[in-house]
Structure 1
């Protein structure tokens, strides 16, 4: 069992998560969150290097691989991350999606209303011109 200190990145002091702060292992076996590793990496041609902030060991990966594909997840820490955290995030994302869809549908509805009222004006003008009135 890991203590609470082991469940947070020592660079940024944030707790690891199952979504954006995934614990990834360098070749020296030290673990840091993915965003911190992204800030620590340097590109050198076709090689990406990450110098470990603890032991200075240099981890090299192919630059063509994205960081998540190049470094393993620390499963010992991953298993200790509460799954409730993932459920909360899923619910939050679902709410954001629902809000975006509602906003989109209301915008398209208001757009339809504007289009409909414009059409009504055009056709009323056509009808008026057909009756000999030219107010439009």
Structure 2
């Protein structure tokens, strides 16, 4: 069980929600709300960079992907967020919105680039897990 302080973004100090303040994980494994990450990101040609406000690690993603399409949700925090109506959206609307954003971010590209994007996410996840196992 997480304490209440772990359920809020350290940048804006708002609690995470299932709509506009979704907890997203950077590559350094620090978590911030999607709204703050949108403000922190910078575009550099075809690359989007986000510098972690805690450790200064730079997370790079393709500029063609939206942040929801590029960064994983912190499920440990997500599971602790109440499943009640938040704002004017409920959980099913959030999922539909996320699916629409993912589709929109991949539509202009061929099926091969969608496959490569998915493969890159899986591969980076495998590398992170392997790195964690070697640190033990």
State the TM-score, normalizing by the size of structure 1: 0.63
* Alignment partner, residue 70 of structure 1: 70
Larger radius of gyration: 1
How far is the alpha carbon of 1:85 from its aligned partner? 3.9
5+ long unaligned stretches in structure 2: 94-136
1:1-136 mapped onto 2 (5 Å cutoff)? 1-86=1-86, 89-90=89-90
Return closer, same or farther for 1:87/1:52 CA change in 2, 3 Å cut-off: closer
State the TM-score, normalizing by the size of structure 2: 0.63
- For 2:24, what is the secondary structure of its paired residue? strand
5+ long unaligned stretches in structure 1: 94-136
Q: Is 1:16–1:33's contact at 8 Å kept on the other side of the alignment?
A: yes
**CA–CA distance in structure 2, aligned partners of residues 67 and 76 of structure 1:** 19
Structure 1 segments, 4+ long, off by >2 Å, are: 85-90
Higher helix residue share = 1
Return closer, same or farther for 1:17/1:66 CA change in 2, 3 Å cut-off: same
**CA–CA distance in structure 2, aligned partners of residues 20 and 87 of structure 1:** 9
